[in-house]
Chain A
């Protein structure tokens, strides 16, 4: 039972930070299907920095992980400039731009990984071997019956993501910038009339989105796979998008949805083990979050309110 909570939370947190990234972009009025590409590219930059630093700082060093997370944050943000340029400055169809960003991200990271490996070790493998993040147990809280499992064996990055999530929530709902951002997604003309700069706000929002997705990507690389390889494009970016839609484009409900997805995944896996089923039955449980999202959308999609101006190029002359 504890294992369900531990694994569930360690899956939910990276998913959450990616979903928050997606929310930032969509709330500002830019459709974001590019989360998958952002997280992969962010993870690549983080992993590259980690691989470069590892010989000097030592393989097991945990500082490398924190530096890698910062690098992933920056790398994801820089890659997101491309999406922002395409959507805001070059007036591309935002859905198509997202798809292109994902295709380009997969190609670019695969190419750069094998090139970097060739330069550093001489072999052209498509992997960066990373370690696994350290785990902590919070002394008092982990003694609570049942939910104490949430506080046992936590990855260090889970605390960081929790911090980022709170900060992101504050920025979105309690600051002037956050209000401008949300207004850009609902009624950009009004923002313009009030003296705001729609293009700039959206640009920053998309970059933030990429940066947050990048952090999610490197956390997956440091927990589930313990390396960076093309398998980072497992579709978790799309899962984050579905968490966002499920959570009605708000951070708090989305957090709950992410936790639910995480628990469904780990719970299903444990159930499968406990029932003595072979491991391939876990695929059925992997389907669950997607099936549930679809079923719940059937009931709630009438109540779902995506940002009104999402997907539209902002045209000053339009009213």
Chain B
């Protein structure tokens, strides 16, 4: 009994620890999600350990039993990286807004419009790859940034809540681009947008590495770099500090002389830029076409990834990796175990649900720690009294 109590208070201390709490809380969420998923799999009569190993095998982290011709572990690994790159960028986009107290739910729309614009401007242009690829990145960043800036401006100028504005803009973008795709750029066979040129695509297709066919995403370099840039901005620059100040207490920031409205616009524009980058990496990299009138679900998943990573850029790298593994490993897991493929989305959902409770874990732990501290103090006082 006493041992159990000790364990509990150790856990509480860890969760509230200044330095390690940020890691321990998401870890607890992941652990709880894995336990829930395991129970679910056991109920369905499957072995959860085999399932989790299959996820790792399908995403190219653990080697599979056998591979098709010309494929190998690197093939799968690069496929996972292809999902990871846009997801990381999108969750970074969310983090920037979130730190400034803004909730950018419009990442999906910003991704879609920048992917669309880049495909139309560069994807069909026939430019060489050394001009086309950087141009795609620039177009993506500019388009996404503009949409983000509009949302920030609407908040600053007209007091329109950013969630409402972004949801509206999401659907306007979805239907607007859908109209143009269906009218001018549709591929009559697949009903999706005509594919962009390989020169403009940010993923190098079918590269041979050690006899394995790999699709190498260039976006992953951008994504990791972006994570460190975002970290640098928040930790080391005045601009980042001001954004955090606005996010923590907008009124206080205003009285210290920070122009809160302008910070709103800047942070939304910055967030939009990263979302736009995510969009081009996704639509002109991971894929090479756009389905009309479909907002990428990744735009919403990214919010949850950011939360799982404790809204820190480095945490987002790990969180995005985890979610990518679940998403990319699902096909192999499904065929290996005969479980519906949708279970990977379900596990992701459960994971996100527990990570949304992160604040609660910390709250409970905090209460426990302070209660113990009080008890300790009371005991000390009693001792003093005796003396």
Contact = CB atoms under 8 A, between A and B. Distances in A.
Interface stretch (B115-123, B250-258, B267-275, B345-353): B345-353
B165 A297 contact: yes
B363 A91 contact: yes
A99 B168 contact: no
B237 interface: no
B169 A294 contact: yes
Interface stretch (A7-15, A148-156, A282-290): A282-290
A96 B346 contact: no
B363 A235 contact: no
Interface in B331-352: 340, 342-343, 345-346, 348-350, 352
Contacts of B154: 294, 297-298
Interface string A253-289: 0000000000000000000000000101101101100
**Most B Cβ at <10 Å: residue of A93, A103, A291:** A103
A90 B357 contact: yes
A301 B160 contact: yes
A93 B345 contact: no
A238 interface: yes
Contact of B175 (A90, A93, A286, A302): A286
A242 B342 contact: no
Contacts of B78: none
B303 interface: yes
Nearest to A238: B167
A39 B102 CA distance: 27
Interface stretch (A46-54, A104-112, A161-169, A184-192): A104-112
B interface bracket (residues with beta carbon within 8 Å of A) = 35 or more
Contacts of A91: 359-360, 363
Contacts of A294: 154, 160, 165, 168-169, 172
A225 interface: no
B164 A287 contact: no
Nearest to B303: A99
A3 interface: no
A297 B163 CA distance: 13
Given A103-B300, A107-B346, A297-B165, A92 B357 contact: yes
**Most A Cβ at <10 Å: residue of B103, B159, B346, B356:** B356
Contacts of A297: 154, 158, 160, 164-165, 168
B336 to A, nearest CB: 16
Contacts of A102: 300
A41 B217 CA distance: 36
A143 interface: no
A118 interface: yes
A301 B159 contact: yes
Contacts of B71: none
A100 B163 contact: no
A124 interface: yes
A97 B360 CA distance: 13
A99 B170 CA distance: 15
A35 to B, nearest CB: 11
Contacts of A287: 171-172, 175-176, 179
B163 A33 contact: yes
B349 A108 contact: yes
A235 B297 CA distance: 12
B194 to A, nearest CB: 15
A33 B161 CA distance: 13
B265 to A, nearest CB: 16
Interface in B301-348: 301, 303-304, 307, 340, 342-343, 345-346, 348
Nearest to A102: B300
Contact of B340 (A96, A115, A291): A115
Given A96-B303, A301-B159, A103 B352 contact: yes
A201 interface: no
Contacts of B301: 103
Contacts of B169: 290, 294
Contacts of B38: none
B247 to A, nearest CB: 13
A102 B295 CA distance: 14
B105 interface: yes
A73 to B, nearest CB: 23
A110 B168 contact: no
A242 B349 contact: no
Nearest to A114: B340
B357 to A, nearest CB: 5
**Most B Cβ at <10 Å: residue of A89, A104, A108:** A104
Interface string B169-190: 1111011101100110000000
A263 B316 CA distance: 44
Given A287-B171, A294-B160, A301-B160, 19 more contacts: A90-B357, A90-B360, A91-B363, A92-B357, A99-B304, A100-B304, A100-B353, A107-B346, A108-B346, A110-B342, A111-B345, A124-B340, A238-B171, A284-B179, A287-B175, A287-B176, A290-B168, A297-B154, A297-B160
5 contacts: A90-B356, A96-B303, A100-B352, A280-B179, A294-B168
